[in-house]
Structure formats: structure tokens, C-alpha cells
Amino acid sequence: MSSSLMNKLGHDRQAFLLSDTGSKVFLSLLVIMSLLVIVGNLMIPETSALHISTYTVTLLGKYLCFALLAMSVDVIWGYCGILSLGHGAFFALGGYGMGMYLMRQIGDRGVYGDPLLPDFMVFLNWQELPWFWYGFDQFWFAMLMILLVPGLLAFVFGWLAFRSRVTGVYLSIMTQALTYALLLAFFRNEMGFGGNNGLTDFKDIVGQDLQADSTRVSLFVISAIVLAFAYLLSRWILQSKFGRVIISIRDAEARTRFLGYRTESYKVWLFVYSAVLAGIAGALYVPQVGIINPSEFAPLNSIEVVVWVAVGGRGTLYGAIAGAILVNFAKTRFTAIFPEAWLFALGGLFVVVTVFLPKGIVGLLAKRNKKNNGPDNKVAEADV
Amino acid sequence: MLLRFTYHSVLRLLFVFAACYPFNSMAQDVLVPVLSEGNGSIEDTVPTIASVSERLAGAKLKEVAAIVNELETVGGTQVLPLFQALIDGDLFYTKGDKRIVIAKRIDSSKQYLLKDAISGDELGTVEKKKIRKVKTNNRLRSGIRTTIARLHLFSDDVSLRQGAISNMSEKLTQDNVNLLLQAKQTEKNKSVRASIEVALAMYQLDAGERSEKLAAIGLLKGNLDPTVRNKLATVVESESDKSIAQAAAAALKTIEGKITFYGYLETLFFGLSLGSVLLLVAAGLAITFGVMGVINMAHGEMIMLGAYTTYVIQLLMPNHIALSIFIAIPAAFIVSALFGILIERGVIQFLKGRPLETLLATFGISLILQQFVRSIFSPLNRQVATPEFMSGALEINSVFSITYNRLYILVFALLVFFILQLILKKTSLGLNVRAVSQNRDMAKAMGIRTEWVDALTFGLGSGIAGLAGVALSQITNVGPNLGQAYIIDSFMVVVFGGVGNLWGTLVGGFSLGVLNKFLEPATGAVLAKIIVLVGIILFIQKRPRGLFPQKGRAAE
């Protein structure tokens, strides 16, 4: 994306968005995968060798949610240099929003058969629904909250942090403290989110049975569409003038400020956007795995996301997505074959990637194909 | 009138029945040292005691009382075990040589374990039919009980006297009161005298005249003993005379005020104790993060390694727990420091000037170390034994006590802190460290081997984390996640106190600890922690460089 190329294509954004190889490869892969899943799961009979099991569909759907989460981290880390170690918090908040909706959908089919109260509240002897559970029986309200709650938290946190110019590792540790505080809070039964056990035992979503194959495939396809849409939107945002300022903040914040830009507002809005993406990822994740509990807030989870991005290569968006899918695929295989070794592998990955592969897999590929691609991906080259 | 009389007599009866128990335990607890101390004098007194006690063999009930009195005058405190056994029905004599023995039945078998009643020597086991019980009855028992109390009350040992008084004040019978009055005449020790007066005052509350009752309340005001509190509470409830009830209520209020005060003092101590732990875990971080500017997410694992070192050393020398702690202190320092140097040389030095990458890489190392420990020691928590000198508590009064392990850790933390200050301020290593942290290039130009200094500084910080591990092993279980629990807290302490400032870490650690503990009663432990975290996040908004920011050129 040299600047001359960009100017030329500035008029026709649609064409521009699909101009680089990475995006093309990524989007076509996504479409092919979705089609394969639809055909493989719903049309090919179970007896056939080509049949894709519902378990695999759900697993792939989960990967896509993680990919969206990784992309949300890449948006702020790769493009703005803000290393958030607390993005799991936004992910989990989105997940809880969806979980609350699904919980209300259970109705009187719970173990205790209470038409209004979720099981855990009956268990805790609560008499009425807490105020913050109102409205979650409506799908649109739940969706709104999934966008609003992480966004609002990110806004308040970001506004406080960026305004007083908390940067670098301080900010990272603050975000980690944020998710740690939420972890502790959600573990409490008194919070009204199911405490330790979280929310689970979901039955259906917008009238569809959650266990049905068709629902699973639909959820997967929705995840794929949302991911593609979010990818295009993020690209569009980051290629706009706003995005240019963001990148200049990453490279020289003080200079950008002296040029007259209010860097903190740019950072806050990007942070909010990223948090909303993470929240959506969480909301898509919960119906597919069927549970949300406070462990999603664990600082380790958030840091793992960062490593996905680092492995894939930050500052390219598709790199983050590739990293998320690769690392999670490895995790699934590793934990199945020899679970003892997974933490060794993950830890090793942290060290190897940061020391030897600062630009991730994408950077490695770019280096190899330098002749083919030309001086592509300036974004990825700049050190953060 | 009649009603009152019966009430009293019933009470007395109850006392007689209830009296059995507490004396038992007390006597057994305190007698052993008395016996062993008295060893020297046994030589000349034993013959007389023995000759008197011999007569117990086959004595009739009538005779036993007389023999007991004689024994008291002859033997003094030395015959206490014999008396106690007599009350418990454990005093026998052997049919053969008429020796007076204490016999304990072995687990509902027919065998009895024998001990000489006077010297306490083990005499082996015999069958039931070889021995016969020394006769007693209830009347005799209560007489002996008074005798035991008297012996205690007039013994030379202050703690024995105190114990007797506190036991007596739980059930103030007329006999006991008479004994106490007697003891008051001769008692010279001030604190024992005071306890006697308190006990007597409690008796006055029941039996005294109005003026005596008021005087008693005046005396009891401010006494923290729970029995006194209960007594006053019953007086407030049951006393018919209003002015006395009011006086008692006022006295109770004073006592409760005092208790609240000590409650605060206790919370403060808990806070300082938590603060000392935070100081210990954060002190190492203050070096690596504060002075070197390296984010070491594996810092928690350095603590864990220190704790496991303590555990291993204790495994190696299970019979010398106290010594093992003192060996563990340098050993944990060395182990953690070596690991630290390894990490610095192996990874961190390649990531200079890239703090975010350092953070990620060290986080990876922390995962590896955790799994490493999990593979070697199993994921289960391990218990490290606490040496004797660190267990127990320093009792300041009946509502406020300080546990020794926390006290020692507080002292240890301060000691480590000041040694660290000394190293940084007075040694050439410290000078180099400060020079490199202030201006790396200039230091290099002056001929300081900066890589060498980096490695040593990192080793120092990690080693101190290892020391924190030794301390933590004394208050929590040792497990692979030990370090993780503290890593966020310790970062908070350093950030709150101000990066690059050890004094800031000290103040930060203690103030966060105290704040946490004072919030806890009102909000619960978890919420208190959350409030503190959110508080720090807000505080950082106001003062991004912490409580004591570094000033001058070194700050940038």
C-alpha cells in the first residue's frame, strides 16, 4: 500500500479494501470455509467420509470468535501501540450479555421451573430479578447491551487513562488490573451473574434449539460474516484519515500532539471500537460453547490473545486472525495429545515469537516473498 | 428469700459437679515442669512423702482425709499429681509391694499402664487384678480440690498462681473466695495481686453490699477479661438496683470501647503484616522494574521458586525445621537469583528498549516455570512446616495478640528492605546500578560493564523475590500458582509507590496493606481488593508517576 497507490484508489474504497493479497486470501478462504461447512455438515450424510461433524463446526466457530477477538487487539496494539492485557474483560462482558439473554430464554424449563428467575437465583433464594437483568429477555436489548457495556467500560477506562497520558507498560498493567478486578467481582455470588459457575444450561436462541445442527451451522456462518464485516470495517477505519492519525500516534505520539491532534480522543475512540469488537466476539462465542463463567476474565486469557496476535504478526489484521486460528488449533491438538506440554509450548511461543519473530508469521512470509510483494505492509514493519 | 436461697444452693451443687473438669487439664499442663524442676530436692523429701503416702495403700475412707492433709504439709506441690490422680480415680496401689501408683487403662483392654505416683517413673503395664484402687468419695474429692487450689495459689511459680486464680474466678465458691482472701494477704507479685482483686470484685458483684458492688464495678471497669465482661453483662441484665445496673452498663461500655480500640490495633497489625508481605514481593520488582525498567512478569515465579526451595530444604532435613529456615534464606536467594540471571542473559538482554515485548517474553517464561514446577512437584499445594519459634502468638491482653510468624515476617521484610537500601547506596554494585539506570550510555563510557551490571541487578531483584518466597511459605501453602497470586499486587505496589523509588515501595506496600485490611470488615475480602484496585487505577490518573515520582533528569 504505497501512498501513491492509496491516493489512486481513494475514490474507490471498495476496490481498495480488497487490493492487497493478504485481504484477498483471507476473505476468499473465509468464504470457501463457510461454504464447505454448510455443505459438509448439512448436505453430506453423516455416514460419508466428507461429512463435517457438528463438533468440528462448533470448534471452527469458536476459532472465528477468537479470531475476531485477536483482531480487536490488533486494532489497538498493531495500529496504535496500546498493549491491552485486559481485552478478555470486554470479551467476557459481551459473553455475559449474551449469556443473560440465553438465560432468560430458558424460562420455566430450568431445574427449579421458575418462570422468571434463572436457576442460580432460585438456588440463592432470591425473590426477584435484579434490576440489571430487566430487558434481557428481548433480543434487541441484549444485542444493544453487548455493544454498549464493553464500549462504555472502554470509554470510561480509556478516557481516564489516556487523558492523564498513562502509556506503555503502565497502561498494560492497568488493563490487567481491570480484568483482574472484574474476575474477582464476577466470582462473587452477590454480583448476580451466577458467581463461580457462571451462566450455562442454555436451551435456545431466538426460538431456535441451540443443540440443533442447523443452529450450530447458522451460528458459525454468522460468526464468519461478522468477522468478514468487522475486518472490512476495521480496514476502512484504519485507512481513513482517522486511521492515519492513529498510526502516527503509534509512531510518534508527542509529535502528533504537537501537530495539533488531540491524540487522547483518537486513542479513546479506537479503544472503544476495539472493545466493542471484543464484546461482539464474546457474544458470538457463548452460544457456541454453551457456557460463560468468570474464568474468562482471567488475566492469562487476555495475555494469550496478545500472543495470538504476536504469532500471526501485528498491524495487518489478517495476521492476527491467522495467529488466533493457528495457535488455537495447536492448543486443541496439544491439550488432546499431551496436556502437560501445552503450557511449555505456549510459554515457549511467547519467548520465541518476541525474540526471533517480532513481526510474526506474516512478517516471515513477507520477508520471503519480498520480491513478489514489493515493499508491502509498512504498517507491519514499524516497531511498536 | 426462700427462692434466693434455693437458687444459691442449686448453684453450689452445680459448681461441685462442674468443678471436676478445668482443674484436671490445668493440673496436667503445669505439673510436669514443676516435677522436673524439683528433681534436686527429691532426694531429701522423698522418704517422708513416700512413708506418708504408703499408708494410703488399703487405707479406709476416714483415714484417707488425714493422710491427704499430712501429705500436703509434707510434700507441697510435689504431691499434686498424686492428688489429681486421686480425684480422677486413677490412684491405685499394687497388691504385692503396696506401692502407690497412677494407673491408666490402655484402650479398654485389661492392661493398665503404671507410673509411680510421686517420682512419675514409668513402671510398665500390669493386669487389672494386680492393683487395687485407693478409696475416695465425693466429699473427699472436693476437699482435695480445695487443697490443690491452695497448693497452686501458694506455690512459688507465678504462672501457676495466675492459672489457679483465673480458674477460680470462673466459679467463685465460698471456699475459693476464702482462699483468695488468704492469698491476697501474702501475695507480693503485683499482677497476681491485681487478678486476685478482680476475682474478689467479681465475687462482690454477686454477694456484696451495694457500696461494695459499686466499688467492684469501679475496679472491673476497663478489664478486658471475657469472664469479667460476661459477669458485668449479667449484672446489667439481672441486677434489681438501677444505679448498680447503670454503673455496670457504663463499665461495660468502657470495656467495649477498649475492645474496639484493640480491634483497630489488631486490624492495623494485620494491615502491616499484609503490607510487609507486599513489600517483600514488591521489593524485588522495584529493582528490576523500578531501577532497570524491565517488566518481569516472571517475578511471581521467582517468589514461587524461593518457596519451593524452602520446601525442598525442609524435606532434606526434616528433623531440623528451625535450622532449615535459616538455610533456606540464602539458598532461596541463590536459586532465584541464578534463575533471574539466566532469564536476563537468555532472553531479556535481546529485548532491550522494547518493554512490551519484554513483558510478553517474561510472561511466557512464567508459564514455562509454572509448568516446570507442576511437572516436578505435582500441581498440588505443599505444606511447609513452621518452626517452633515462629508458631504461637504474643498475647498482649485477652483480646489482642500478635502471631509470631507474622511478626517475624514484618521484621524480616524491613530487614531485607534496609539491606537492599544499603546495597544500592553503599556498595560499588549499587553505585553501578544507579549509574546505569540513570544514563546507560554515559555509564558505559565511564567504563562500567553495563551487561554485567544488568545481569547482577536482575539477579539481585530475583533473589529478593526468592526471599519473599521463603516468607510466604510460612503463611500460605506452596503451590505452582503461588507467584501469580501476588504479581498484580506487587506491580500495583511499585506503580503506586512510584517507579524507581524504594521508599515509595515501602510506603506503597504498607499503605495498601493497611487500607485493604481496614476495608475488609466493611466490604468483605474480595470487594476490598476490588476497591483497592479501582482506587489505584484512579490514583494513577491523578499521579501517573506514583506517590514519589523520580525527579530530575533521571526521570526520563
Is the Cβ–Cβ distance between B279 and B506 less than 8 Å? yes
Which residue has better confidence, A307 or B151? A307
Q: Which amino acid is at A369?
A: N
What distance in Å separates the CA atoms of residue A110 and residue A112, rounded to the nearest whole number? 5
Instruction: State the pLDDT at residue A228.
Output: 93
The answer to whether A350 contacts chain B (CB < 8 Å) is: yes
Identify which of A347, A358, A383 has the shortest CB distance to residue B364.
Answer: A347
CA distances from A217 to A37, A44, A324 (A): 7, 13, 21
Contacts of A241 (CB under 8 A, 6+ apart): none
Instruction: State the pLDDT at residue B551.
Output: 64
Give the distance from residue B484's alpha carbon to the nearest chain A alpha carbon, in angstroms: 10
What distance in Å separates the CA atoms of residue B124 and residue B136, rounded to the nearest whole number? 25
Q: Which residues of A touch B350 (CB under 8 A)?
A: 355
Tell the residue number behind the cell numbers 444493544, with chain if given: A144
CA distances from A63 to A232, A359, B216 (A): 19, 22, 78
Q: Choose the mutation target among A183, A350, A356, A357 for the interface with B, i.e. most B CBs under 10 Å.
A: A350
Closest alpha carbon within chain B to A163: B541
Check CB contact under 8 Å for A166 and B541.
Answer: yes
Give the distance from residue B263's alpha carbon to the nearest chain A alpha carbon, in angstroms: 27
Q: What confidence tens digit (pLDDT) does each residue in B410-466 have? A: 999 999 999 999 998 899 988 998 888 888 888 889 998 988 888 999 999 999 999
Identify which of B354, B356, B526 has the shortest CB distance to residue A188.
Answer: B526
Closest alpha carbon within chain B to A351: B361
What distance in Å separates the CA atoms of residue B467 and residue B408, rounded to the nearest whole number? 13
Check CB contact under 8 Å for B364 and A350.
Answer: yes
Is the Cβ–Cβ distance between A342 and A106 less than 8 Å? no
Q: Which residues of B touch A177 (CB under 8 A)?
A: 488, 491-492, 533, 536-537
Q: Which residues make beta-bridge pairs with A215?
A: none
Task: Tell me the mean pLDDT in the region B229-248.
Answer: 78
Q: Which residues of B touch A188 (CB under 8 A)?
A: 526-527
Instruction: State the pLDDT at residue A17.
Output: 53
Check CB contact under 8 Å for B364 and A188.
Answer: no
What distance in Å separates the CA atoms of residue B2 and residue A333, rounded to the nearest whole number? 88
Phi-psi region at A161: left, alpha or beta (left = phi > 0; alpha = psi -120 to 50) = alpha
R_g of chain B, CA atoms, integer Å: 33
Q: Which residues of B touch A163 (CB under 8 A)?
A: 541
Q: Which residues of B touch A180 (CB under 8 A)?
A: 488, 533
Rounded mean pLDDT of chain B? 79
Give the distance from residue B293's alpha carbon to the nearest chain A alpha carbon, in angstroms: 10
Q: Which amino acid is at A350?
A: F
| Least confident residue range of B54-68, B258-272, B311-325, B389-403 | B54-68
What distance in Å separates the CA atoms of residue B198 and residue B206, rounded to the nearest whole number? 13
Give the distance from residue A95's alpha carbon to the nearest chain B alpha carbon, in angstroms: 21
Whether residue B255 is predicted with pLDDT greater than 70 in this model: the reply is yes
What distance in Å separates the CA atoms of residue A219 and residue A290, rounded to the nearest whole number? 12
Whether residue A151 is predicted with pLDDT greater than 60 in this model: the reply is yes
Give the distance from residue A141's alpha carbon to the nearest chain B alpha carbon, in angstroms: 28
Check CB contact under 8 Å for B363 and A303.
Answer: yes
Which residue has better confidence, A202 or B227? A202
Closest alpha carbon within chain A to B357: A354
Task: Tell me the mean pLDDT in the region A184-208.
Answer: 86
Contacts of B306 (CB under 8 A, 6+ apart): B332, B333, B335, B336, B465, B466, B467, B468, B469, B470, B472, B473
Tell the residue number behind the cell numbers 532497570, with chain if given: B292
Share of chain A above pLDDT 90, in %: 40
What distance in Å separates the CA atoms of residue B457 and residue B468, rounded to the nearest whole number? 17
Task: Tell me the mean pLDDT in the region B3-18.
Answer: 46
The answer to whether A339 contacts chain B (CB < 8 Å) is: no
Is the Cβ–Cβ distance between A354 and B351 less than 8 Å? yes
Is the Cβ–Cβ distance between A107 and A354 less than 8 Å? no
What backbone phi and psi angles, to 5 degrees, belong to B116?
-65, 135
Is the Cβ–Cβ distance between B414 and B406 less than 8 Å? no
**HSE (CB half, 13 Å, CA atoms) of B269?**
20
Q: Which residues of B touch A176 (CB under 8 A)?
A: 488, 491
Whether residue B302 is predicted with pLDDT greater than 70 in this model: the reply is yes
Whether residue B307 is predicted with pLDDT greater than 50 in this model: the reply is yes
Q: Output the CA angle B215-B217-B221, nearest 5 degrees.
A: 120
Q: Which amino acid is at A371?
A: K
Share of chain A above pLDDT 70, in %: 91
CA distances from A260 to A162, A198, A245, B67 (A): 16, 47, 11, 106
Tell the residue number behind the cell numbers 513416700, with chain if given: B50
ipTM of the complex: 0.79
| Least confident residue range of A94-103, A250-259, A309-318, A372-381 | A372-381
Q: Choose the mutation target among B487, B540, B543, B550 for the interface with A, i.e. most A CBs under 10 Å.
A: B540
Tell the residue number behind the cell numbers 495476521, with chain if given: A319
Whether residue A12 is predicted with pLDDT greater than 50 in this model: the reply is no
Q: What confidence tens digit (pLDDT) does each residue in B262-282 have? A: 889 988 999 999 899 899 989
The answer to whether A159 contacts chain B (CB < 8 Å) is: no
pTM score: 0.74
Which own/partner contact pairs does A131-140 have at CB distance under 8 Å and 24+ positions apart? A132/A192, A133/A100, A133/A104, A133/A192, A136/A97, A136/A100, A136/A101, A136/A103, A136/A104, A137/A101, A137/A104, A137/A105, A139/A101, A139/A206
Check CB contact under 8 Å for A347 and B368.
Answer: yes
Q: Which residues of A touch B359 (CB under 8 A)?
A: 83, 169, 172
Identify which of B351, B370, B530 has the shortest CB distance to residue A343.
Answer: B370
Q: Running DSSP on this structure, what letter comes out for residue B113?
A: E
CB atoms within 10 A of CB B134: 22
Mark which residues 170-209 of A lie under 8 Å from B by CB: 170, 172-174, 176-178, 180-181, 184-185, 187-188
| Least confident residue range of A317-321, B482-486, B512-516 | B482-486
B→A contacts (Cβ < 8 Å), by residue, are 295, 347, 350-351, 354-361, 363-372, 374-375, 488, 491-492, 495, 526-527, 529-530, 533-534, 536-538, 540-542, 544
Instruction: State the pLDDT at residue B411.
Output: 93
Is the Cβ–Cβ distance between B480 and B254 less than 8 Å? no
R_g of chain A, CA atoms, integer Å: 21
What distance in Å separates the CA atoms of residue B185 and residue B193, rounded to the nearest whole number? 9
Whether residue A380 is predicted with pLDDT greater than 70 in this model: the reply is no
List of E strands, chain A? 199-200, 204-205, 208-209, 291-292
Is the Cβ–Cβ distance between B27 and B148 less than 8 Å? yes
Closest alpha carbon within chain A to B349: A355
Q: Which residues make beta-bridge pairs with B94?
A: B131
Tell the residue number behind the cell numbers 440463592, with chain if given: A124
What distance in Å separates the CA atoms of residue A185 and residue B534, rounded to the nearest whole number? 12
Which residue has better confidence, A117 or A280? A280
Closest alpha carbon within chain A to B499: A170
Tell the residue number behind the cell numbers 520446601, with chain if given: B311
**Is residue B555 very low, low, confident or very high in pLDDT (cuts 50, 70, 90)?**
very low
Q: Which residues of A touch B528 (CB under 8 A)?
A: none
Whether residue B335 is predicted with pLDDT greater than 90 in this model: the reply is yes
What distance in Å separates the CA atoms of residue B30 and residue B418, rounded to the nearest whole number? 42
Give the distance from residue A79's alpha carbon to the nearest chain B alpha carbon, in angstroms: 14
Q: Which of B84, B61, B52 is nearest to B149 (CA)?
A: B84
Whether residue A310 is predicted with pLDDT greater than 60 in this model: the reply is yes
Closest alpha carbon within chain A to B545: A166
Task: Tell me the mean pLDDT in the region B458-481.
Answer: 90
Q: Choose the mutation target among A153, A173, A175 for the interface with B, i.e. most B CBs under 10 Å.
A: A173
Q: Which residues of B touch A353 (CB under 8 A)?
A: 360
Q: Which residues of A touch B295 (CB under 8 A)?
A: 169, 172-173
CA distances from B271 to A226, B343, B495, B496, B513 (A): 50, 34, 19, 17, 5
Burial class (CB in 10 A: 0-12, 13-18, 19+), B428: exposed
Closest alpha carbon within chain B to A356: B350
3-state secondary structure of A292: strand
Cell of B464: 529478593
Check CB contact under 8 Å for B347 and A351.
Answer: yes
Is the Cβ–Cβ distance between A366 and A381 less than 8 Å? no
The answer to whether A164 contacts chain B (CB < 8 Å) is: yes
Whether residue A381 is predicted with pLDDT greater than 60 in this model: the reply is no
Could you give the dihedral angle defined by the CA atoms of residues A368, A369, A374 and A376, in that order, rounded to the nearest 10 degrees? -80
Closest alpha carbon within chain A to B359: A169
Beta pairing, strands B100-105 & B111-116 = antiparallel
Contacts of A147 (CB under 8 A, 6+ apart): A276, A279, A280
What backbone phi and psi angles, to 5 degrees, belong to A96?
-65, -35
Q: What confidence tens digit (pLDDT) does each residue in B369-388 have? A: 999 998 888 888 888 888 88
Is the Cβ–Cβ distance between B160 and B34 less than 8 Å? yes
Q: Choose the mutation target among B295, B537, B543 for the interface with A, i.e. most A CBs under 10 Å.
A: B537
Q: Which of B81, B85, B63, B65 is nearest to B131 (CA)?
A: B85
Which residue has better confidence, A283 or B523? A283
What distance in Å separates the CA atoms of residue A323 and residue A319, rounded to the nearest whole number? 6
Instruction: Give the H/E segment covering residue B115.
Output: strand B111-116
Whether residue A383 is predicted with pLDDT greater than 80 in this model: the reply is no
